[in-house]
Amino acid sequence: MTDARGASGWAWQTLDMAWTLDRDALRGRVAVVAGATRGAGRGIATALGEAGATVVCTGRSSHTSTLRSDYGRAETIEETAELVTGLGGTGIAAAVDHLDPDQVKGLAGQLRDDHGHIDVLVNDIWGGELLTGGPAGWDTPIWQHDLDDGLRMLRLAIDTHLITSHHLLPLLVDEPGGLLVEVTDGTVDYNASRYRISVFYDLAKVAVNRLAFSQGHELEAHGATAVAVTPGWLRSEMMLEGFGVSEENWRDAVDPAAAGGHPAAPPDFALSESPRYVGRAVVALASDPDRARWNQRSVNSGQLASEYGFTDLDGSRPDVWRFIEEIRERGLDANHDDYR
């Protein structure tokens, strides 16, 4: 990595040098982040914004709509759009239930009228955390699992992505160079040999990886690229709230003395990442003129940070997935700082 700009358009030279953000890397490009209300979706939308993109932020939680997510939380797509604009992009909120084909079809028509084309589509729709439950409910056999909850989880994780791609990909493939990002939990390689929480959750996350593979096969002929991207241990709004901390003092979560009545986070929370980190992973892919080399692949945020040199908000490069495989699963000890 010797080019002062780098092939991706991001300002770096080597991974040992300080990375700096290029606020015009995606200027003039239009992105849709489906599921941008909170968590990874908000992190991806804001990262696209700080790179100068126009970002259409979709979701159910809105000041202007009666739609509400399964979480019933306060975050809205309007807040995300405001954050995008505040970071230098152009944020646009669009209230959409991605389980409703007619609503997504309407979104596609509005996008064509307003922009004519989209350059990036991020399928980050999920909304199944309450259905997944906490660790105490993990490993529940399928015959003991609530069937309605399990099937709802699959609808939220898979049907939403299929409906969104069906209606929005025509806007991506009418010009070459488009990027589709499928957001999931765990790479193909990691999930292939590990059971993930429950039959329903396991199937949902494996299926989304496969969607990037199959859609990449279809997109390749149109000069477009599909990649599955997974964040690491994400400091989402819900995660921070559960540990009684904020983004400003998140490290206190691993200190029982600072827990303040909330459960202390496991030590590996020291390798957690802000939602902006996976967002910068998406920006790195979108900025790379050679992004087709990633087509049909499944990668995590730490792997992409190692490849492109971007950092999290604190200047670190956390890689919890590599830590899990190299250290935790082998019963070894290591300094968390060596993996960020």
pLDDT of 235 strictly over 50: yes
Angle at 103 between CA 101 and CA 106, to 5 degrees: 110
pLDDT of 17 strictly over 60: no
Q: Of 160, 152, 155, which is closest to residue 122 (Cα–Cα)?
A: 160
Pair of tokens at residue 228: 């599955």
Instruction: Kindly report, residue by residue over 84-140, the tens digit of the pLDDT.
Output: 999 999 999 999 999 999 999 999 999 999 999 999 999 999 988 888 888 888 899
Q: What's the pLDDT score for residue 22? A: 93
CB distance 157 to 182 below 8 Å: no
pTM of the model: 0.92
- Calculate the average pLDDT of the chain: 91
- The length of the chain in residues reads 340
Q: What's the pLDDT score for residue 293? A: 97
Q: What's the pLDDT score for residue 114? A: 97
Domains of the chain: 30-234+276-339 (3.40.50.720), 235-272 (no CATH)
Q: What's the pLDDT score for residue 273? A: 97
Burial class (CB in 10 A: 0-12, 13-18, 19+), 11: middle
pLDDT of 2 strictly over 50: no
Provide the pLDDT confidence category of residue 9 given band limits of 50, 70 and 90.
very low
Q: What is the mean pLDDT of residues 259-267?
A: 77
Looking from the CA of 165 toward its CB, the CA atoms found within 13 Å total 24
Count of C-beta atoms within a 10 Å radius of residue 18:
10
Q: What's the pLDDT score for residue 133? A: 83
Q: Of 304, 243, 233, 300, which is closest to residue 272 (Cα–Cα)?
A: 233
Single-letter residue type at 131 = L
pLDDT of 4 strictly over 80: no
Q: What's the pLDDT score for residue 18? A: 67
pLDDT of 335 strictly over 50: yes
pLDDT of 60 strictly over 80: yes
CB distance 96 to 60 below 8 Å: yes
Backbone dihedral angles phi then psi of residue 31, each to the nearest 5 degrees? -120, 150
Q: Flag the least confident range among 93-97, 120-124, 206-210, 265-269.
A: 265-269
